[in-house]
Amino acid sequence: MPTVANSETGRDRSKSLSAFLEADLRKDLLRFTTAGSVDDGKSTLIGRLLHDAKAVYEDQVASVQKSKINRSGGAFDFSLLTDGLRAEREQGITIDVAYRYFSTARRKFIIADTPGHEQYTRNMATGASTADLAIILVDATKGLLTQTHRHTYIASLLGIRCVIAAINKMDLVGYGEEVFLRLQRDFLSLASRLGISSVQCIPISALAGDNVVSLSENMPWYSGPTLLGHLETVDFRQARSLDAVRFPIQYVIRPDFRFRGFAGKLASGTLRPGVELVALPSGQETRVKAIVGFDGDADQAIAPQSITLQLENEIDLSRGDMLVSPSKLPATSRTFSAAVVWLQSEPLRVERALLLKQTTRLVKARIRRIRHRINVNTLQNEPAEQLEMNCIAEVEVETNQPLFLDVYGVSRATGSFILIDPRSNATVGAGMVRETSLEGVAEAGEQDWAPIEVGIGTVTREERQRRHGHKAGIFLLGNRSSLAKSLERTLFDQGFQTVALDASGVASPALKRLLASLFGVGLMVFCTNGSLEPQDLAELSSEAVFGISDPADFVAALGEEDDVQITQRALSFANKMRLAPDSDASQKGTLK
């Protein structure tokens, strides 16, 4: 009988464990970030929250107790539970974004503890980009500072509509109600101007634990929730107005001839077998055949699941393409406006060559115009010619290939992008789409394509070619200025008529006109720092345009031709443009 009893006990434990895991899976997951100015006590607050919520292991507590570093003034430095880098502990500041996970009986949480220093504002933007709620700390002894304004503005910019203003260090102001009410009034005014709809102000002392997990006996005048109590009960689900399907293709899976699947993360909407879709940019129509997962085919997929789709018909799709609902298409645009947070020490200047990554699509881009910079203190718009690090501005963006866009307020996934320096591959900016297209820009660009008329005299193009001894050619060399100068000299010494051109700051339409004009007079042109691709010069003969590997392809493939390889290809290309002595140019091929 003991064997039977033990067996029943084992089954009961198994059922109990299964029930526990099932209940845990059904819990809501709230992602939140902490932000504020330096020394506002963010790390101390998160450490106190984890400690008092029983979410810290004993060995972690023991490690902090043994630490020689303690800047809290008390027996236990809670900030050391989250400041994990050696530099952070030595300097007493947060540098990197620290992610922590914990759960209570009501909810699961992922915390992004972000830095307060101005130089690390980009880390704050990174941590807040996936958050549903932001805790903005305010030092009760200092009030709202510039970084408080900046971080609150970035939170609103990133679409975070639930904010907790944690008025910290109340112990240093004698737990005074009038101090809290004044700072609460200031913060509510700021939040109102930024359009933040859900704000809860809580007076706390992270060091002493007041109103963090338990209500404070030192502030009997406060009748609101504790910090943890509000986190457990706040309704953070934001009603998204976009329920249409947006499925960016990340990878094409084809292990053999029997299977072809398209993998990616469903950005919005719901998919089921039989659902009609449109492929962009081709516009081809298709239907979902199957939703493939590790455990077999699924009946449906809901954003933001990562899935693999099989389609009923064979259509051409690759990374960067998108499957969307035919009833509600995204905007397909090369020009749009966006709010941008600049993250690099080198200022952003108009017309600088950049790469832009939106969903899985990587294209060349440039900032056409800075409409205005936002003063984070006054929230006023100011004129600007360039953007310094941590500045926020509204800009106009132009790309060399179309993007599939939704406004950021409608869809985070398809309304956001990052800007990348093509030379260093460093992320230099983060953007949120405001307007998905700029009226009249494309039409103006087409009008500007017409080249300057250079054939108004009596000298024909064929005569120029015979005089030069070669056809005209355009060499698009990316940002390789030294290579352009070297090729210009080498080919000039070999008898070619050459010119090197730095296109930095030249708008695409104007650059097209200039290149077409130089081409018209029969020159070999070496162009660098331009935003054009060979396909952008379709009006010229394709045989007359030389291009190197696209930086976008380089980022994707992690490989690129070196200067020696490009030089060899360029010299071979140029030699093909030579004309035989005393030959008629028309016999060598007519130029378009």
Structure-block tokens of residue 10: 């084992």
pLDDT score for 71: 55
pLDDT score for 240: 52
Indicate the pLDDT class of residue 64, thresholds 50, 70 and 90.
low
Quote the Cα angle for 215-219-223, to 5°.
60
**Which pLDDT tens digit goes with each residue over 450-487?**
445 555 567 877 788 888 889 999 998 877 888 888 89
The one-letter code for the residue type at 387 is L
Among 80-94, 167-181, 478-492, the range with the most confident prediction by mean pLDDT is 167-181
Per DSSP bridges, beta strands 392-405 and 331-342 are antiparallel
Is residue 344 a contact partner of residue 389, using CB atoms and an 8 Å limit? yes
pLDDT score for 37: 80
Indicate the pLDDT class of residue 235, thresholds 50, 70 and 90.
confident
pLDDT score for 459: 80
Question: Cα 368 from chain centroid?
Answer: 19
Q: How far apart (Å, rounded) are the C-alpha atoms in residues 300 and 377?
A: 47
Q: How far apart (Å, rounded) are the C-alpha atoms in residues 26 and 440?
A: 50
Helix axes 177-194, 146-157, angle to 10 degrees: 40
Q: Which residue has the higher pLDDT, 543 or 448?
A: 543
Indicate the pLDDT class of residue 133, thresholds 50, 70 and 90.
very high
SS3 414: coil
CA distances from 465 to 132, 450, 468, 581 (A): 64, 22, 5, 11
- CATH (residue range 246-324): 2.40.30.10
Nearest-CA neighbor of 473 among 496, 449, 455? Answer: 496
Per DSSP bridges, beta strands 301-302 and 270-271 are antiparallel
Q: How far apart (Å, rounded) are the C-alpha atoms in residues 203 and 36?
A: 15
Structure-block tokens of residue 419: 């800007």
Per-residue pLDDT averaged across 160-177, rounded?
Answer: 93
Structure-block tokens of residue 452: 């300057």
**Radius of gyration of the chain measured on its C-alpha atoms:** 30
**Which pLDDT tens digit goes with each residue over 387-404?**
998 889 999 999 988 999
Cis geometry, peptide bond prior to residue 304 (ω within 30 degrees of 0): yes
Per DSSP bridges, beta strands 361-374 and 392-405 are antiparallel
Q: Residue 242: is its pLDDT beyond 80? A: no
Q: Is 584 exposed, middle or buried (0-12, 13-18, 19+ CB in 10 A)?
A: exposed
pLDDT score for 232: 92
Whether 24-233 shares its CATH topology with 246-324 is answered no
Is residue 270 a contact partner of residue 301, using CB atoms and an 8 Å limit? yes
* Architecture of the domain made up of 24-233: 3-Layer(aba) Sandwich (3.40)
**Which pLDDT tens digit goes with each residue over 28-58?**
889 999 888 877 788 788 888 888 888 776 6
Q: How far apart (Å, rounded) are the C-alpha atoms in residues 165 and 167?
A: 6
Indicate the pLDDT class of residue 324, thresholds 50, 70 and 90.
very high
pLDDT score for 418: 93
pLDDT score for 559: 40
Nearest-CA neighbor of 422 among 359, 366, 505, 498? Answer: 366
Q: Residue 156: is its pLDDT beyond 60? A: yes
The one-letter code for the residue type at 488 is E
Structure-block tokens of residue 293: 């997962």
Per-residue pLDDT averaged across 266-271, rounded?
Answer: 92
Q: Residue 245: is its pLDDT beyond 50? A: yes
**Which pLDDT tens digit goes with each residue over 489-547?**
999 988 899 999 887 656 667 778 888 888 888 899 998 877 677 777 777 777 788 88
Quote the Cα angle for 431-432-435, to 5°.
120
Indicate the pLDDT class of residue 136, thresholds 50, 70 and 90.
very high
Nearest-CA neighbor of 532 among 461, 448, 467, 427? Answer: 448
Beta-carbon contacts of 366 under 8 Å, excluding residues fewer than 6 positions away, are: 350, 351, 352, 353, 354, 397, 398, 508, 531
Structure-block tokens of residue 64: 């902090």
Pseudo-torsion of CA 331, 336, 341, 342, nearest 10°? 130
Count of C-beta atoms within a 10 Å radius of residue 204: 29
Nearest-CA neighbor of 230 among 82, 83, 142, 104? Answer: 104
Is residue 94 a contact partner of residue 119, using CB atoms and an 8 Å limit? no
Per-residue pLDDT averaged across 441-448, rounded?
Answer: 42
Kind and range of the H or E element at 31? strand 28-36
pLDDT score for 553: 42
Cis geometry, peptide bond prior to residue 281 (ω within 30 degrees of 0): yes
Quote the Cα angle for 466-467-473, to 5°.
75
Q: How far apart (Å, rounded) are the C-alpha atoms in residues 153 and 162?
A: 13
Is residue 291 a contact partner of residue 275, using CB atoms and an 8 Å limit? no
Is residue 165 a contact partner of residue 200, using CB atoms and an 8 Å limit? yes
CA atoms 100, 104, 108, 112: torsion sign: negative
Q: Residue 297: is its pLDDT beyond 80? A: yes
Place domain 331-439 in its CATH homologous superfamily. Translation factors (2.40.30.10)
Q: Residue 174: is its pLDDT beyond 80? A: yes
Residue-averaged pLDDT of the chain: 81
Nearest-CA neighbor of 549 among 559, 541, 540, 564? Answer: 559
Order of strands, sheet of 524-528, starting from the edge strand that comes earlier in the sequence: 498-502, 524-528, 473-476, 545-547
Q: How far apart (Å, rounded) are the C-alpha atoms in residues 37 and 350?
A: 30
How many CA atoms, within 13 angstroms, populate the side-chain half-sphere of residue 160? 29
SS3 120: helix
Domain ranges of the chain: 24-233, 246-324, 331-439, 451-588
Indicate the pLDDT class of residue 557, thresholds 50, 70 and 90.
very low
DSSP alpha helix (H) spans, 57-200: 58-66, 86-91, 121-128, 146-157, 177-194
Q: Which residue has the higher pLDDT, 445 or 262?
A: 262
Class of CATH domain 451-588? alpha beta
